[in-house]
């Protein structure tokens, strides 16, 4: 969509022509406070717009081109905003480990502030006692290993529904828009894990939540001139601020309905328990994320009291961050594998040996599938779900002999880090074998800075544990259960199970947005691989 493109160069150039003289006068004083700093190298900029004219979407690729030319640490100006871009594993380690405390906040855009209920949400909250409380709650309860494991049946049920859909399509030899099906799968998973006992989560308003989450991600990732050019603030020249207000109001209304349904269900349960004359009985029911949040809000002894806005903000976070990223990762790893039949054959050999043909692979099988895990690591290196880590400098920092002033925005280009030639041989190749032997110990949990798809330090992604279960399990089942014929819409025609060179390659063009997704839908024809097909 045009209004969600990160950088609309034509608009910015028009603005620079219209207001050039006014801005030039205003821009000159703004550079004085940084005059005594030794900033990292920078390409040639323009008055008013800075380096916006150099940035074509996708933005991480534009940053990559600039850092190849000027070095792994550069500075650019987005209008009046000073930004530092890091593109190598070593400089990423300096910024996110050595100087982690100085980059513990995130930049606040108009969209981020609105959808975060100012600072009430978790993802964009300042580093504060509230943020630390929520991070501990995430690790121990909300998105920790125990909760993720307890909610596994929900994920299994949703994926079983997808397999049924694919099987029915295969009988009719119908093409499937797998991109759309995977988004529906991950949205349903996240919604049911967030609020499993509400009618909304059961499907009453799932489509609305799916559409709203998509729009939130688009608006947070969109370039808004009001964020960067002071003269435009309050004008809303792109109409983005109005859209942000409208989408926020609709999402807030949906969240209120979901929360009220949950509160009513909890009251009924408590009333029933009191009538029975005993303590409240969980009946073995696993608490979903909303239950855990409401329990924390009702805990009088909690060190931080959660407000309604805190709860709604966190639910927005997991809806928007947990759905598209998971779906995109499954899609990328399947597409890369279809383009590399030798990888597909090795994966199927491993799955057949460990799981067999009588049942569908499950999350519990993942520890016994090292090559599958290697393929997922490789896709996170090549196509990290969030290609840019954004931070805000809260104090002056010196890195590699260069100064980063307080108030600067930091972009760590995870996409570039995964292609750092110092750490990766033939970095543009999809080669899972690189993680099988001596590099099998390289993990994605933020300690090996050549591979940081979930970030590192104080603001690492709390959804990592969930993603490392959902992505490989879904991918494994798709390659175990079906052969895939690449449709003309997705490739450049033959079955994915064919020999090297016989199958049509899947188009791998990258799209534009906050999440690193494919530019075009993945259109495939599923063909059952297992005969008889296992009961699902």
- Residues making up the annotated binding site for heme are 461
Per-residue b or e along 295-322, where b marks 16 or more CB atoms closer than 10 Å to that residue's CB: ebeeeeeeebebeeebbbbbbbbbbbbb
Concatenated DSSP letters for 112-134?
HHHHTTTTTSSTT--SSHHHHHH
Closest to 120 in 3D by CA, of 370, 310, 361: 310
Distance CA 230, CA 250 (A): 29
The token duo for 399 is: 């890195």
Annotated binding-site members? 461
DSSP 8-state assignment for residue 141: I
For 292, the 3-state DSSP assignment is: helix
Strand partners, 32: none
Concatenated DSSP letters for 222-239?
S--HHHH-GGGTTT-TTS
Distance CA 450, CA 381 (A): 9
Total number of residues shown for the chain: 536
DSSP 8-state assignment for residue 105: B
Q: Which residues contact 371 (CB under 8 A, 6 or more apart)?
A: 346, 347, 350, 432, 436
Distance CA 387, CA 411 (A): 10
291 CB-contact burial (10 Å; exposed 0-12 / middle 13-18 / buried 19+):
buried
For 74, the 3-state DSSP assignment is: strand
Phi-psi region of 304 (alpha: psi -120 to 50; beta: other; left: phi over 0): beta
Backbone angles phi, psi at 171, to 5 degrees: -65, -30
- Residue 129, CB-side half-sphere exposure with 13 Å CA sphere: 5
For 412, the 3-state DSSP assignment is: strand
Distance CA 133, CA 250 (A): 28
């Amino acid at each position: 969509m045009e209004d969600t493109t990160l950088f609309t160069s034509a608009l910015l150039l028009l603005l620079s022509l219209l207001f050039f003289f006014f801005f030039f006068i205003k821009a000159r004083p703004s550079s004085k406070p940084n005059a005594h700093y030794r900033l990292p190298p920078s390409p040639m900029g323009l008055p008013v717009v800075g380096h916006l004219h150099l940035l074509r979407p996708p933005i991480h690729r534009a940053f990559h081109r600039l850092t190849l030319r000027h070095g792994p640490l550069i500075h650019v100006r987005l209008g009046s905003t000073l930004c530092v871009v890091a593109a190598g594993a070593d400089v990423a380690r300096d910024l996110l480990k050595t100087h982690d405390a100085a980059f513990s906040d995130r930049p606040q855009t108009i969209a981020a502030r609105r959808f975060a209920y100012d600072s009430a949400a978790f993802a964009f909250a300042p580093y504060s006692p509230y943020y630390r409380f929520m991070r501990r709650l995430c690790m121990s309860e909300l998105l920790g290993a125990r909760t993720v494991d307890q909610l596994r049946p929900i994920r299994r049920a949703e994926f079983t529904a997808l397999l049924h859909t694919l099987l029915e399509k295969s009988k009719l030899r119908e093409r499937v828009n797998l991109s759309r099906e995977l988004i529906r799968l991950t949205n349903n998973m996240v919604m049911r894990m967030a609020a499993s006992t509400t009618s909304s989560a059961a499907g009453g308003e799932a489509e609305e939540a799916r559409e709203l989450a998509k729009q939130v991600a688009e608006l947070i990732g969109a370039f808004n001139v009001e964020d960067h050019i002071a003269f435009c603030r309050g004008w809303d020249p792109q109409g983005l601020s109005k859209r942000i207000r409208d989408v926020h109001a609709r999402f807030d209304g949906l969240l209120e309905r979901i929360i009220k349904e949950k509160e009513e269900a909890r009251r009924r349960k408590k009333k029933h328990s009191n009538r029975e004359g005993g303590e409240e009985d969980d009946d073995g029911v696993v608490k979903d994320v909303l239950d855990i949040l409401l329990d924390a809000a009702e805990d009088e002894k909690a060190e931080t009291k959660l407000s309604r806005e805190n709860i709604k903000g966190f639910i927005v976070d997991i809806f928007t961050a947990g759905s598209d990223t998971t779906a995109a990762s499954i899609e990328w790893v399947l597409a890369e594998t279809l383009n590399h039949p030798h990888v597909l054959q090795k994966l199927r050999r491993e799955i057949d040996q460990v799981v067999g043909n009588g049942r569908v692979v499950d999350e519990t099988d993942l520890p016994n599938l090292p090559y599958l895990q290697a393929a997922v690591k490789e896709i996170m290196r090549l196509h990290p779900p969030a290609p840019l880590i954004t931070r805000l400098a809260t104090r002056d920092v010196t890195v590699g002999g260069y100064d980063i002033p307080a108030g600067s925005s930091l972009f760590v280009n995870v996409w570039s880090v995964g292609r750092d030639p110092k750490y990766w041989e033939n970095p543009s190749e999809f080669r899972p074998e690189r993680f099988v032997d001596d590099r099998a110990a390289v993990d994605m949990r933020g300690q090996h800075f050549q591979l940081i798809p979930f970030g590192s330090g104080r603001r690492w992604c709390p959804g990592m544990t969930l993603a490392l279960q959902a992505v490989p399990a879904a991918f494994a089942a798709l390659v175990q259960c079906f052969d895939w014929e690449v449709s003309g819409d997705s490739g450049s025609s033959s079955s994915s199970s064919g020999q090297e060179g016989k199958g049509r390659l899947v188009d791998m063009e990258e799209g534009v947005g906050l999440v690193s997704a494919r530019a075009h839908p993945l259109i495939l024809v599923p063909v059952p691989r297992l005969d008889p097909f296992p009961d699902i």
